A and B are shown apart, each in its own frame.
Chain A
Amino acid sequence: MDENWKQLGLKVGIEIHQELDSHKLFCSCPAIIRHENPDLIIKRKLRAAAGETEKKDKAALYEEKKNKMYIYEAYSDTNCLVETDSEPPHPMNEEALTIALQVAFLLNAEPLDEIHVMRKTVVDGSNTSGFQRTALIATDGFVEVNGKKIFIPTINIEEDAGRRIREDEKSTTFRLDRLGIAEVEIATSPDINHPIEVKEVAKKIGMILRSCKVRRGLGTIRQDINVSIRGGSRVEIKHVQNLDEMPAIVKNEVKRQKNLLEISKELKKITSEENLVPDFAVLSAFEHTKSKIIKQGLKNGVVLGVRLPGFAGFLGKEVQPGRRLGTELSDYAKIAGVSGIFHSDELPAYGITKEEVEQTKIALNCRKQDAFVIVVAEPEKASRALRFVLQRARYAINGVPNEVRGVEGTNTKFLRPMPGAARLYPETDIPPVRLTRKYLNTIKIPETIEEKIKKLKKEMPKEIAEQIIMSKYFNLFESIVKKFKVDPILVATTFTSVLKDLKRRGVKIELGEKDYIDLFELIAKKRISKDAIPELLEKTKAGEIKKSAQLYEKLSEDEIKNIVKEVVEKSPTLGNSALMGIVMKKIGRRADGKLVSSILKKIKKG
C-alpha cells in the first residue's frame, strides 16, 4: 500500500557532509584516518560554565562535566599543535575552499562577497577547542531532479570533528585524525515530498560531489535526513549510509509519526500530562524472582516502578515494524545508563510471573486502564531512568517529540533530543576571506560525473568506467592516467577487479597512494609486466613497491632467448608445452607468456 504522501504533508530535507580531498582546513596536516595505536595521548577537561545552558538542569550538567575527562588520541606524524588546541588556526586552506566553491557552482549557488569563519559551540568534547569552525560560503543554490527544483539555501565549509573511539562514565575518547579535515556541508530545503525522491536527490548531489576533488570511502560522506509530516515534528535522522535504504527509512519514520499521532489522539481522551508524576516505588515483589535479568540486577540495585495512568495497552502498540511505544520509552531510559525497561503490556515474560505482575500493580496502585514500567538498577540510576521514561510518556500524549534519531535497519532509534540553535560567534583568529570576481573567475568548473562517464566509455567498457568512477580510487586513477602513459583499462581494473579479487582471497592490502603511483610508473616504463600486478600487490608492503618489483622486472628479448636456448639444449626431446612450463618456471612474472611462447617457437624451428 502506498501512502498519499502529499496528503500526509511529508516534508524531507537532506543535509550532506562531504570531506574534501586536501590537507586539513586550518593546518597543514594531511587528512589521513589512522588505525594503528596513537603515540600521543592528551587529557583535557571541558569548562563547566554556570551560565552555559538555559533549559537544562544547570547543576546536573555542571556536576557531569566537572568529573568528565576528555581523552584525545593523536599521532605525532599527522597531527600538530593546531588540532590539540595549542596553536591558533592557520589561514583557511585555499585548495579546500576552491573545491567547496566548485561544489557551490555545480549546485548553482552564489558565492558570498566575503566569508567569515564562525565558532560553533560544541559541548560533547569532539572538538578540542570546544567549538567547530564553520563558514557560510554560498547561498541560493538548487539541484534539478526529474524536472523539479530542490533548493539548497546554504553551503558551508567546515572542519570535521574528532572521531569518537570509546566512552564510559568517567571519560570520552576521541581520535584527532579526523579533526580538522575540510568538509562541505550542503543543506536542502524541505522540498522533498516523496520517499523515492529523497534517494534521487541524495544520489544527484552525491554525483555532483564526486565530480569534485572529494574524499572517497567509508565515512567520508555523511547524510542526515530531516523528516516531518503534518501534525508531526521535525525529526533528524543521522548518518544514513545506504542511499538505497533511504526510501524505506523515510517510510518507516512516517509510519512511526503517524502511529504516534494516533496514539496521542487516543491518550488525550483518557489521560493528561499532569497524571504522569515521579511517584517511584521500590518493589518488593521480586525478592524471590526467577527472572535472571532481575536477579542479576538486584545484586547491587533495586527494582523501581512507576505507574503510567491511562497507558494500558498503548505501550504494546507497534509504531514501526518490531518497535512499540514501549521501545521508545526504553530508548529514553537508556540515557540514564540502564540496559532497558519492562512494561506491563509485555508482561508476564522474561521469567517474570503473573503473580509478580499482579503484586506490582497493587504496589503501584494501578487501575485497569493504567500501565506500569519497571527498571532494575542502582537506586539513583533507576530513578533517573524512570524520570526519562516519564518524560517520553508525556511526549506520547502530545504527539511526536523533536528528536535526533539514528538508523537501525530501516527503523529509526532515539539518539538525543533536538539541540537548540547552536551558538555561533566570530572566529577572530582567522581573517575574513574576500571572494573577489578575479579569484572566482580562476575557479574552473570541473567536469560532471556524467561527462566523465561519457568520456571514459570511449576508452573502456561501460561497466569498468562506472566502477572506477564510483570507486574510492577514482582521484588516484585520474592522476595516474594523466601522469603516465599507461592503459586506462589496466589502471581501472587494477583498482576495481584486481583489488577486489585479492580482498576476496583474504589478502590484506594496506598500500598508500604513493605505492600505486610507483606501481604504474614501473608499468609505464615497461619495467614490469602487467601480469605481475596481482602477485606484486599481494607480496609487497607499503613503501616497498619498487624494491619488491625487482623480482618481476621484465627481461629483454635477448635474456629470454638465452633462457629458452638453455632449456631447449638441456632437454631437446621434450614437446613445446613441457618446455614452455620449464621456461616459465624460470622466468616467473618477468615476461609476458605470449612473448616467451613466440620466442620458444622460433628457437625450436631453428
Chain B
Amino acid sequence: MTFEGYSVKIKNALESQKISVGDLIEIKKGSKTYTGMLMPRTQGDSNCIVIKLANGYNIGIDFRNASVRRIKPAKKSSEKKPALSFDKTKPQVALITTGGTITSKIDYETGAVRSLIKPDELLDTTPRLREIINLTEISSPFARMSEDMNADDWAKIAKETARLLNKGNKSVIITHGTDTLHYTAAALSFALKNLHKPVVLVGAQRSSDRGSADTTMNLVCSAYVATSDIAEVGICMHGSINDDYCLFSRGTKVRKMHTSRRDAFRPINELPLAKIWYDGKIEIVNKNYKKRNDSEKVEADAKFEKKVALLKAYPGSDPHVLEYYASKGYKGFVIEGTGLGHVPTKSKNSWIPVIKKLTKDGIPVVIAPQTLYGRINPNVYTNLRILFYDAGAIPGQDMLPETAYVKLCWALGHTKDFDKIKSMMMENIAGEITSRSIINAFLM
C-alpha cells in the first residue's frame, strides 16, 4: 500500500519508520496522544493523518508539530471461506464483471474495496442466488468505471459473452457501472449475432456495503431472467423506488434517466420486455422477444469504428464543431436534433452547409431525437425537408441518440459505403427501431 493522498511530510515520517496502512500507531502532538490504526487517505487535507480509533471512528490529525511511532504491525486479515456454495443442479450461468461495486467486497476496517474472484463469494452478499442458478465462473476481462469504457471494451465483453454462452452456459449476467450501461447494452445487442439465450446486464445505484443495496434484488432478478426464455440482450434493474420488481428492458431501448434513483433505467419508446418480481414471478409485458433455443450458437460480430461523434444541436450551437471532428478524421456523426429532428437551419449559424458537405463526402450524419421520446420526422416542416432531403442527413427514427451512436460505430465497423450505412441505419437490426409508436410507452 502506498501513501497516496498524504503530504510528503507524512509520507516520509511513515516510510522512515516502515509503518504501513493497518498498523497500530501513536501520534503525539503537544500534550495529546492519539492511538489508532493508520488509514489510507482518499480525500480531504493531505496534511492530516487519518487513524481509526479503538471505538471505530476515523479522525484526521494535523501532522504539523506532531510525531508518529508504530505500536504494533497490522493484523494479517484472514480470508474467510465463503459460507455457502452454489447448487450444481441449478441452471448453469456465467458472470462477467467489468468493475464497479456490484461485484466487490468491502474491507469494513479500511473501507477499501476489492473485486470478487470466486463465484461462491457472491453468495456471502446475495445468498438467494443459490436458489436460482449455478454460477459456473466469474470472468473479469477488465475492471473499469463505466465512464472510462470505449468500443474496444464493448468488443471484449461481446467476445467473452459469446465464448461463455457457447461453452454451455444458459445465460451470461454482466455486471457493469451504471453510467454507460445502456451504451454497452446497445453494443452487445448489435454485436451478438444469432443470440438465442438471455444476456442480462445489471448494475447498482447504491453501494454494495449497505443493507439496503439495490444490488441484491437486481442480481436476484437478473438470475431469474437468466433462467427464463427471453433470449434478448437487456438491462435488469429496479422498476420502482421500492424493492418489489425489476424491469428487464431491451438493450437498445433503455436509458439511464436519473443520476441516483434505483429505478433510473427506463425503457424508452417501447414497453419493457418483462417485470421480474422479487419472488421470481416473471410477468411478460412485451411479447415481442426472441425465444430461447439452447442448441444455437452465438457469434460475436464485434467490429466498431471509434471515430464517431455524438453531438447535440441547441440554440446558438456552432456547426464548426462538425468541421473540427471531420478534420480529425471522424467517419460519422449522430446529432441530437431538436423536436422532430431540427438543427439550426436558416440562422447565421446554420448547420445545413456543413452537413451537406459531409454527406457529399460520404460521411453519414444521423439525426436522433434529443427529446428521447418520439420519432424523427423528415417531412413536417420545410427546415426538416432541407436537412433530410437537401443536406442528406439520415433520420434516426425512434432510436435513442446513444443507441444510434453505438449503431453507427458498429455499422462503420463493417463498411464505409455511404448508401450501405444509410440503409443499415434505417433498418431495424436489434429492436432499436420500432414501426409503431406505442401510446403508453411514455414516461414509464
Q: Tell me whether A and B are bound partners.
A: yes
Task: Answer whether A119 and B242 are a contact pair too, CB < 8 Å, given A114-B44, A114-B59, A428-B42.
Answer: no
Q: Are B44 and A432 in contact (CB under 8 A)?
A: yes
Q: Are B211 and A121 in contact (CB under 8 A)?
A: yes
- Interface flag for B426 (CB, 8 Å): no
Q: What is the distance, in angstroms, from A87's C-beta to the closest C-beta of chain B?
A: 4
Which of the residues B45, B210, B261 comes within 8 Å of A114, measured between beta carbons? B45
Residues of B within 8 A of A129 (CB): 206, 210-212
Mask, B260-299, CB within 8 Å of A = 1, is: 1110000000000000001000000000000000000000
- Interface flag for A266 (CB, 8 Å): no
Which of the residues A42, A51, A88, A135 comes within 8 Å of B57, measured between beta carbons? A135
- Interface flag for A444 (CB, 8 Å): no
Question: How far apart are the CA atoms of A426 and B207 in the complex, in Å?
Answer: 12
Q: Which of B104-112, B162-170, B431-439 contacts A (4 or more CB under 8 A)?
A: B104-112
Question: How far apart are the CA atoms of A81 and B278 in the complex, in Å?
Answer: 22
Residues of A within 8 A of B42 (CB): 428
Q: Which of A354-362, A416-424, A508-516 contacts B (4 or more CB under 8 A)?
A: A416-424
Q: Which of B47-55, B143-151, B329-337, B370-378 contacts A (4 or more CB under 8 A)?
A: B47-55
Question: How far apart are the CA atoms of A422 and B108 in the complex, in Å?
Answer: 11
- Interface flag for A599 (CB, 8 Å): no
Nearest-CB residue, chain B, relative to A51: B124
Q: Are A114 and B61 in contact (CB under 8 A)?
A: yes
Q: What is the distance, in angstroms, from A579's C-beta to the closest C-beta of chain B?
A: 69
Q: Are B56 and A422 in contact (CB under 8 A)?
A: yes
Q: What is the distance, in angstroms, from A172's C-beta to the closest C-beta of chain B?
A: 13
Nearest-CB residue, chain B, relative to A154: B55
Nearest-CB residue, chain B, relative to A422: B56
- Interface flag for B424 (CB, 8 Å): no
- Interface flag for B319 (CB, 8 Å): no
- Interface flag for B328 (CB, 8 Å): no
- Interface flag for A62 (CB, 8 Å): yes
Q: Are A434 and B45 in contact (CB under 8 A)?
A: yes
| 29 residue pairs bridging A and B, Cβ less than 8 Å apart | A42-B242, A44-B243, A45-B243, A46-B211, A47-B126, A48-B127, A49-B211, A50-B82, A50-B84, A62-B127, A81-B260, A81-B261, A85-B212, A87-B259, A87-B261, A112-B59, A113-B61, A113-B62, A114-B45, A116-B60, A118-B56, A118-B57, A129-B210, A130-B211, A130-B212, A136-B57, A425-B110, A425-B111, A431-B44
**List of 3 A-B pairs having minimum Cβ-Cβ separation, nearest first:** A130-B211, A114-B60, A432-B44
Residues of B within 8 A of A42 (CB): 241-242
Nearest-CB residue, chain B, relative to A137: B59
Residues of A within 8 A of B80 (CB): 51
Which of the residues A46, A58, A84 comes within 8 Å of B83, measured between beta carbons? A58
Question: How far apart are the CA atoms of A400 and B339 in the complex, in Å?
Answer: 74
- Interface flag for A149 (CB, 8 Å): no
Q: Are A50 and B212 in contact (CB under 8 A)?
A: no
- Interface flag for A366 (CB, 8 Å): no
Interface size class of A (residues with CB under 8 A): 35 or more
Interface size class of B (residues with CB under 8 A): 35 or more
- 11 more contacts with CB within 8 A, not counting A62-B127, A136-B53, are A43-B243, A46-B211, A46-B212, A51-B83, A66-B128, A84-B241, A88-B260, A130-B210, A131-B210, A422-B56, A425-B111
Task: Answer whether A423 and B213 are a contact pair too, CB < 8 Å, given A42-B242, A47-B125, A431-B44.
Answer: no
Q: Are B206 and A432 in contact (CB under 8 A)?
A: no
Q: Are B43 and A49 in contact (CB under 8 A)?
A: no
Q: What is the distance, in angstroms, from B39's C-beta to the closest C-beta of chain A?
A: 8
Question: How far apart are the CA atoms of A156 and B55 in the complex, in Å?
Answer: 12
- Interface flag for A242 (CB, 8 Å): no
Q: Are A47 and B59 in contact (CB under 8 A)?
A: no
Residues of B within 8 A of A154 (CB): 55, 57
Q: Are B56 and A423 in contact (CB under 8 A)?
A: yes
Q: Are B60 and A434 in contact (CB under 8 A)?
A: yes
Q: What is the distance, in angstroms, from A495's C-beta to the closest C-beta of chain B?
A: 39
Q: What is the distance, in angstroms, from B61's C-beta to the closest C-beta of chain A?
A: 5
Which of the residues B48, B61, B110, B123 comes within 8 Å of A50, measured between beta carbons? B123
Question: How far apart are the CA atoms of A203 and B155 in the complex, in Å?
Answer: 68
Mask, A419-447, CB within 8 Å of B = 1, is: 00111111010011010000000000000
Mask, A140-171, CB within 8 Å of B = 1, is: 10000000000000101000000000000000
Nearest-CB residue, chain B, relative to A156: B57
Q: What is the distance, in angstroms, from A161's C-beta to the closest C-beta of chain B?
A: 13
Q: What is the distance, in angstroms, from A476's C-beta to the closest C-beta of chain B?
A: 35
Residues of B within 8 A of A48 (CB): 127-128
Q: What is the distance, in angstroms, from A7's C-beta to the closest C-beta of chain B?
A: 31
Residues of B within 8 A of A156 (CB): 57
Q: What is the distance, in angstroms, from B195's C-beta to the closest C-beta of chain A?
A: 32
- Interface flag for A475 (CB, 8 Å): no
Per the 8 Å Cβ criterion, residues 22-52 of B in contact with A are: 32, 39, 42-45, 48, 50
Task: Answer whether A432 and B43 are a contact pair too, CB < 8 Å, given A42-B242, A86-B261.
Answer: yes
- Interface flag for B217 (CB, 8 Å): yes
Residues of A within 8 A of B206 (CB): 85, 129
Question: How far apart are the CA atoms of A115 and B209 in the complex, in Å?
Answer: 22
Q: What is the distance, in angstroms, from B240's C-beta to the closest C-beta of chain A?
A: 9
